[in-house]
Amino acid sequence: MRLAGFYAFAATVALLPALFPDNYFVVVVGASAGLNVILAVGLNLLMGYAGQISLGHAAFFGLGAYASAILTTRFGWPSLLALAAGLIAAGLLAWAFARPILRLRGHYLAMATLGFGVIVHVIMVQATGWTGGPDGLAGVPPLDLFGWEVSGDLQWYGVIMAAALLAVWLSLNLVDSPVGRALRAVHGSEFAAQMMGVDTARAKTQAFVVSALFAAFAGSLFAHQQAFVSPDSFDLTVSVELVTMVVLGGLASTFGAACGAIALTLLQQALVVFEDYEMLIHGALLMAVMIFLPQGLFVGLTQAARRLGSALVRSRPSVAA
């Protein structure tokens, strides 16, 4: 029962390519949405549950991607080992930055994480010897899963969606555990959380590290899927998009974050036909959602559906009476 939503999500993801075989939109856009789901679900643990903002999350996404790209192309590491190294690097970096950064609140935390994202992006552009600079790194080998080389759009769809489901499952588990409740308590009242014995500095650090790990994991998959990485994929715009996904879907809801990620990915695809007006419509839609569904798409629409349902039940003449 606790995982009912998870099973529904898994079934949808598995059925889509079967219902629409050889459909470019499903497998390619779907894979891209899947990566965004991992990123948004991870960021939601920090933003939605622990109540801490990060405007530099693309940095961890990029760190995972560059770790995989550099270690596999320049040092010939096996892809899984490179992925693990990327996770460790992102986790350590997040851990080291968490204590000083998470002392800050509100606008100051936003500024600090923004600065962090900008610094990492500058390093990606400037450290040409390692990263290839603005031109990026090409020729990232395919992901090798114990001898199975992932290739083709459909296989990538499968791998990324499996990873996205794993991210959703981990997030659902965490939220409904002492660790997750401690995070939510920090958001609810830091004062009271401390008095319940919650080490709030530690709880925030954990949230920051976990969300960084999710992002680095997505980054690593992204590097192999695209076979190419460049700094453009990890700049400030991407960080802002990630925040938008979480807020759009609905803060403090794992499925909300997942829905936000999928909705924003689809929206960007759909708006391509409007060419010059794309950003205009994009911005207007986001503003409309925030004004009319302040709790986000997922929570807002489920509540609207429930209200509609009960209205229909009421309007029907009662048979029992």
Partner 1 sequence: MTALPPPAPPLALLAVTGLEQSFGGVMALAGVSFRVAEGLIYAVIGPNGAGKTTLFNALCGFYRPSAGSIRFADRELLGLPPHRIAACGIGRTFQNLQLFFNMSVVENVMVGCHLRARASLLAAALRLPGVRRQERHLRAWSMEALELCELADRAAQPAGALPYGLMKRVEIARALAAKPRLLLLDEPAAGLNDTETLALRELIARIRASGVTVLLVEHHMPLVMGVSDRLLVLDYGSVLAEGTPADIQADPRVVAAYLGGAVSYAV
User: Which lies closer to partner 1 via its Cβ, residue 78 or residue 188?
Assistant: 188
Kindly provide the residue ranges of all beta strands, DSSP E only, lying in the chain, ordered along the sequence: 137-138, 144-145, 148-149, 228-229
Least separation in angstroms between residue 169's CB and partner 1 is 9
Measured between alpha carbons, how far is 172 from 156 in angstroms, rounded to an integer? 24
User: Which lies closer to partner 1 via its Cβ, residue 30 or residue 91?
Assistant: 91
Q: Which stretch binds partner 1 (CB under 8 A): 26-34, 82-90, 146-154, 192-200?
A: 192-200
Measured between alpha carbons, how far is 320 from 259 in angstroms, rounded to an integer? 39
DSSP line for 280-302: HHHHHHHHHHHHH-TT-HHHHHH
Q: Is 5 exposed, middle or buried (0-12, 13-18, 19+ CB in 10 A)?
A: middle
User: Which lies closer to partner 1 via its Cβ, residue 166 or residue 281?
Assistant: 166
User: Which lies closer to partner 1 via its Cβ, residue 218 or residue 252?
Assistant: 252
**Cβ-proximal residues to 77 (8 Å cutoff; 6+ apart), any chain:** 71, 85
Least separation in angstroms between residue 109's CB and partner 1 is 19
191 binds partner 1 (CB under 8 A): yes
198 binds partner 1 (CB under 8 A): yes
**Cβ-proximal residues to 41 (8 Å cutoff; 6+ apart), any chain:** 164, 167, 168, 171, 214, 254, 257, 258, 261
Which residues, 111 to 130, sit near partner 1 by CB under 8 A? none
**Cβ-proximal residues to 40 (8 Å cutoff; 6+ apart), any chain:** 242, 245, 246, 249, 257, 258, 260, 261
Measured between alpha carbons, how far is 222 from 39 in angstroms, rounded to an integer? 11
User: Which lies closer to partner 1 via its Cβ, residue 35 or residue 198?
Assistant: 198
Q: With CA atoms as reference, report the closest residue to 163 among 39, 77, 3.
A: 39
92 binds partner 1 (CB under 8 A): no
User: Which lies closer to partner 1 via its Cβ, residue 45 or residue 137?
Assistant: 45
User: Which lies closer to partner 1 via its Cβ, residue 200 or residue 268?
Assistant: 200
Residue from 126, 128, 177, 310 binding partner 1 (CB under 8 A): 177
Which residues, 209 to 248, sit near partner 1 by CB under 8 A? 210
Least separation in angstroms between residue 320's CB and partner 1 is 27
Q: Which stretch binds partner 1 (CB under 8 A): 111-119, 141-149, 168-176, 255-263?
A: 168-176
Measured between alpha carbons, how far is 53 from 43 in angstroms, rounded to an integer? 9
Q: Which stretch binds partner 1 (CB under 8 A): 20-28, 85-93, 190-198, 307-315?
A: 190-198
Q: Which positions touch partner 1 (CB under 8 A)?
A: 170, 173-174, 176-182, 184-185, 187-189, 191-200, 206, 210, 252
